Amino acid sequence: MSDVINAKGSCLCGNVQVSVQQQSPKVGVCHCSNCRNWTGGPFVGVDCGTDVQFTGSQSISAFKSSDWAERGFCNNCGTHLFYRFLESQQYIMPAGLFDDDQAFEMDHQIFIDEKPNYYSFINKTDNMTGAEVFAKYASADD
């Protein structure tokens, strides 16, 4: 990741604190049906790499949402904490979780073909369909 930053944040109730050593300043939006069901809208996430530390781990629950990833949340207040790839242990975390979320720049959207018509962003971004996402990242594992 280029231009990585250190970041800190917490869940809504404060039971879970997070510290990230390699956070990207770029934010992405996922419009897939799973993310929309999980968040009630698009998932606005930031790549936080694998060096993520939590305090209050007794308040973290996770569930396997696909064959390749799990989603974590605070089991006290319900705050979404992460989307984590199982194989690489890479965390994609909600941008709003962090103390300084004003420093981010939205630069990409994925599963754009699943985005419903009732919302739209004006930002100029790189956009990928679900098929393009799977083609790009499935071939990266080969």
12-55 pLDDT, tens digit each:
999 999 999 999 999 999 999 999 999 999 999 999 999 999 99
Q: Phi first, then psi: give them for residue 35, nearest 5 degrees.
A: -65, -40
Is the pLDDT score of 132 beyond 60? yes
pLDDT of residue 5: 77
pLDDT of residue 142: 45
Q: What is the CATH number of the domain that holds 22?
A: 2.170.150.70
As a three-state string, the secondary structure of 43-80 is EEEEECCCCEEEECHHHEEEEECCCCEEEEEECCCCCE
pLDDT digits (tens, 9 = 90+) for 104-114: 999 999 999 99
Is the pLDDT score of 90 beyond 50? yes
Instruction: State how many domains the chain has.
Output: 1
Is the pLDDT score of 1 beyond 80? no
Give the neighbor-by-neighbor strand order of the sheet with 43-47. Answer: 60-64, 69-74, 80-85, 91-94, 43-47, 26-30, 105-110, 126-128
The domain containing residue 39 runs over which residues? 5-140
pTM over 0.85: yes
Calculate the average pLDDT of the chain. 93
Strands 26-30 and 105-110: parallel
Residue 60, both tokens: 């973290």
Cβ–Cβ under 8 Å, residues 46 and 27: yes
Cβ–Cβ under 8 Å, residues 104 and 95: yes
Alpha-carbon distance of 90 to 41, in angstroms, equals 22
DSSP state of 132: H
Listed residue (42, 50, 45) closest to 115, CA to CA: 42
